[in-house]
A and B are shown apart, each in its own frame.
Chain A
Amino acid sequence: MTPDAGPREAALRVTNLHKAFGSLDVLRGVSLAAHEHDVIAVMGASGSGKSTLLRCINLLDIPDAGEVHVGGELIHMGFDRRGQRTPADPRQVDRIRTRLGMVFQRFNLWSHMTVLQNIVEAPIRVLGVPRRRAMEQADHLLRKVGLYDKRDDFPAYLSGGQEQRAAIARALAMEPEVLLLDEPTSALDPELVGEVLKVIDDLAAEGRTMLIVTHEIGFARAVSSRTIFLHQGMVSEQGPSRQVLDEPRSERFRQFLSGGDWGRSALTTPSQSGENESP
């Protein structure tokens, strides 16, 4: 049975996405589907459109053409008075965004809130979760990412790795159907990369559906089920991660893999973690 013929709708389906910034075509017809429990690594040289792809999925950037389905629901697009493409229903976009957990390269934690406040903010205010339950869930997530003792600290007093783990907990608190991670370790000092990758690895082991833009080849090989290689705004290669990463077909991808592997991945073997979380 091919994935496309499956009885269940893909958790996330992107069809023929186009995006240009001025005269620069960043995305030139990208399609992909993430099914439940898929972990898809999106790779590509800088400027290949990886981050833009992620930002077009939750409409932080508005794609010029193409469709995005989340759990089978199409995000409806229309045009504003100036003829610019824009979401037909902003409330639908807000609603869909709550189902897509976003983890930013530079964390983007709200700086005037403590770690705990960051995590409960959107569940309480956007989803309407009762405060007590949101707090309990936040505590659970904080233990999971190893930040329980930092719950009352402000982001500015955390290390980058801690900030990113807090940001992941914040995204998880929305109980999203799909997690979008935009180069989650690129802004980190090398010695802090491992702790973040470990958390993401645990999420993969739990069966979370994830789309991860990453440069960490060893990590992609260990954690992702599929890898997509973007080149000049198009999918130039894709398939099961082991296969694609071990036997790249195109010269470009081969070059990317040999030049891009900085040899410092924290995870070079498949993980056995995530089986029994300590409290």
Chain B
Amino acid sequence: MVTLDLHGYGWMLWRGLGLTILVGLGAMALAVTFGLLGAWGKLSRYRAARGLAGTYTTVIRGVPELILILLVYYGVPTLIQDLAARAGHDLRVDLNPFVAGIATIGLIYGAFATEVFRGAFQAVPRDQVEAARAFGMGRALMLRRILLPQMWRFALPGLGNVWMVLIKATALISVIQLEELMRSADIAARATRLPFTFFFAASLFYLGITIVSMVIQGRIESWSYRGAQRG
């Protein structure tokens, strides 16, 4: 029987795991928000909204995540300081890596969620919308009562996918000194000179998150399918 000897660094990995989950959940909430807004923009009657949403998904999906993370964490404060200096103010801006991490990952995966939601909205059968209109529902009411609840059915498989990729992408924010799972494993590996042990342990943690996620996703999907016969 092989056991992983973590040389007293186990608590650090657990703490990192907690932080990773926290960042993941926060970023996912943000991604869902951006995704809904993005899908709304893409399906809008207004050209400006469509253009804005299109630019968002094109730019975000076209630039590597790592660059975006560094850009937000190091670039944005510098930009603000430079602008302030030009206006004659001496300003020191530091982004909290936790907040910056959530914001960046949320922004990036919001672009992917946008496409998921766009497809999901379009997958809701036309006759459901027609019935809503025929009963005098306005746009907002129809969106809230008919479109959103039905859209989830089509969105959840895609969102589950976004979540899986997102949770792994949180490892990237180890570069901005946030001691999430990846960085904790890195610190422990360097201190003990046991890279295999700690990176292997960390990978098991990530795998654990995704397996639990899959189970939860299955539950949520069955709930979203209430009323529908599954094939």
Contacts and interface: CB of A to CB of B under 8 A. Distances in A.
A126 B137 contact: yes
Contacts of B228: 111-112, 154, 156
B196 interface: no
B133 interface: yes
Interface string A82-125: 00000000110011111010101010111111100000011001
Nearest to B134: A102
B85 interface: no
A55 B146 CA distance: 20
Contacts of A109: 131
Contacts of B141: 125-126
Contacts of B138: 90-91, 94
Given A121-B145, A156-B229, A157-B229, A110 B128 contact: yes
Interface in B114-166: 125, 127-128, 130-138, 141, 145-146, 149-150, 153
A60 B133 contact: yes
A110 B146 contact: yes
Contact of A106 (B127, B133, B135): B127
Contact of A122 (B127, B137, B226, B229): B137
B229 A58 contact: no
Contacts of A60: 130, 133-134
Interface residues of B, number: 22
A133 B133 CA distance: 23
Contact of B135 (A98, A114, A154): A98
A154 B227 contact: yes
Contacts of B153: 112
Interface residues of A, number: 30
B226 A154 contact: yes
Contacts of A111: 125, 128, 150, 227-228
A34 to B, nearest CB: 18
A125 B137 contact: yes
A78 to B, nearest CB: 17
B68 to A, nearest CB: 36
Contacts of A155: 227
A137 B132 CA distance: 20
Interface string A257-274: 000000000000000000
Contacts of B226: 112, 154
Contact of B136 (A97, A110, A157, A170): A97
Contacts of B132: 110
A27 interface: no
Contacts of A125: 137, 141, 145
Contacts of B149: 112
B127 to A, nearest CB: 4
A175 to B, nearest CB: 12
Nearest to A182: B134
Nearest to B139: A90
Nearest to B224: A112
A142 interface: no
A104 B135 contact: no
Nearest to B151: A112
A174 interface: yes
A100 B149 CA distance: 26
A205 B137 CA distance: 30
B211 to A, nearest CB: 29
A156 B127 CA distance: 14
Nearest to B150: A112
A94 B133 CA distance: 7
Contact of B130 (A95, A96, A108, A113): A108
A104 B131 contact: yes
Contacts of B145: 121, 125
Contacts of A96: 136
A56 to B, nearest CB: 13
A97 B132 CA distance: 10
Contact of A58 (B125, B134, B137, B146): B134
Given A60-B134, A97-B135, A126-B136, A104 B127 contact: yes
A108 B146 CA distance: 12
Given A108-B134, A110-B131, 7 more contacts: A60-B130, A95-B136, A97-B134, A108-B128, A108-B131, A125-B145, A154-B228
5 contacts: A98-B136, A114-B227, A126-B135, A126-B137, A157-B229
Interface of B: 125, 127-128, 130-138, 141, 145-146, 149-150, 153, 226-229
Ranked 4 nearest A-B pairs via Cβ: A154-B227, A98-B136, A108-B131, A102-B134
